[in-house]
Chain A
Amino acid sequence: MIAVMPTVDGHMLDKEFFADQVEANLDRFYAHAILMTKNEACAEDLVAEGIAKAWKAVDSLQDATRFVPWVKRIMTNHFISEQRKASTKTRHIEYHEEFSEESEPFSLFEQLHQPFLLWWGNPEKEFLDDLLQKDIVAAFEALPENFRIAVLMADVEGLSYPEISDTLDVPVGTVRSRIARARSALQKQLWDHALEKGLVDQEGED
């Protein structure tokens, strides 16, 4: 059977191209896996299994310039289906999913913004500038898994809500509210972290 390979610049996507792409982007795949699994050994397994799966499914790659997001998506799907298998054994609950809709989302902007500040002051931008990548990673890793994956898919992979809905097999409405709550939780984490580190002071609180 001859598979029709996607092409890059007119060249067939062959094994060599695939291996080169994997090699060149391995850090990105690994970083993605770490954010998902939060564990180095699990992340290694996930990358290896994801890449093996990707090769088997290479026919489904329509545009070779989308190699990285395509592999990441395969990794994400693989991770989710593995989690699902494990969760039917342990009957784990979709945590935080049933949180009351009414609870006000937490907004960093509201904490930081000072509407009456002179025009050159921008405390919210300063806050972001002080924020290190590792602060964000820590806040991110503190999120429950379904929140983490939702934000990963939306912000890191840039998938649309319908695409996320498709991958996770949940309604678009659930995706929408999950992403909203995940971001609120993430901002709360960042705020608490900043308070702990003394990056912000609470003098404005009353």
Chain B
Amino acid sequence: MSEKPEKLACEQAIKMILEYLDNELTEHDHVAMNGHFETCRSCFSRMEFEKMLKDKISALPAKKAPDSLRNKIKKVTGKF
């Protein structure tokens, strides 16, 4: 097996979970996190949870545009 990069402590991993999900970690940290998730069930569950919540938030809006807005927009695009 290839040599392991230095191990992350859970405390460090937890701090980086959200940025991991945002894809904002350096490649080095991202890889280290992947390694940590392979061996740490607790941090993995935590990451899964944060991911589900993030997905719920990204799916957020479910509001219908009112007719008044539709009409207003027709006027705007009609003028182009």
Chain A residues proximal to chain B, CB less than 8 Å: 15, 18-19, 22-23, 26-32, 34-35, 40, 44, 47-48, 51-52, 55, 108-109, 112-113, 115, 124-125, 128, 131, 133, 136-137, 140, 151, 154-156, 158, 160-161, 176, 179-180, 183, 186-187
From A40, A51, A112, A160, B73 is in contact (CB under 8 Å) with A51
Name the interface residues of B15-30: CB closer than 8 Å to any CB of A: 18-19, 22-24
Which residues of chain B are near A55, meaning CB under 8 Å?
A: 76-77, 80
From A18, A48, A124, A183, B80 is in contact (CB under 8 Å) with A18
Q: Determine if A31 and B60 form an interchain contact, defined as CB atoms under 8 angstroms apart.
A: yes
Tally of contacts, chain A with chain B, CB under 8 A: 107
Number of interface residues of B (CB under 8 A): 32
A49 to chain B, nearest CB (A): 9
Which residues of chain B are near A176, meaning CB under 8 Å?
A: 19, 24
B57 to chain A, nearest CB (A): 4
Q: Determine if B49 and A160 form an interchain contact, defined as CB atoms under 8 angstroms apart.
A: no
Which residues of chain A are near B61, meaning CB under 8 Å?
A: 28, 31-32, 34-35, 137, 156
A18-B80, A113-B42 known; 16 new pairs, CB 8 Å cut-off, are A15-B80, A22-B73, A29-B65, A32-B61, A51-B76, A51-B77, A112-B49, A125-B49, A128-B49, A133-B60, A136-B60, A137-B61, A155-B54, A155-B57, A156-B57, A160-B23
Which residues of chain B are near A47, meaning CB under 8 Å?
A: 65, 69, 73
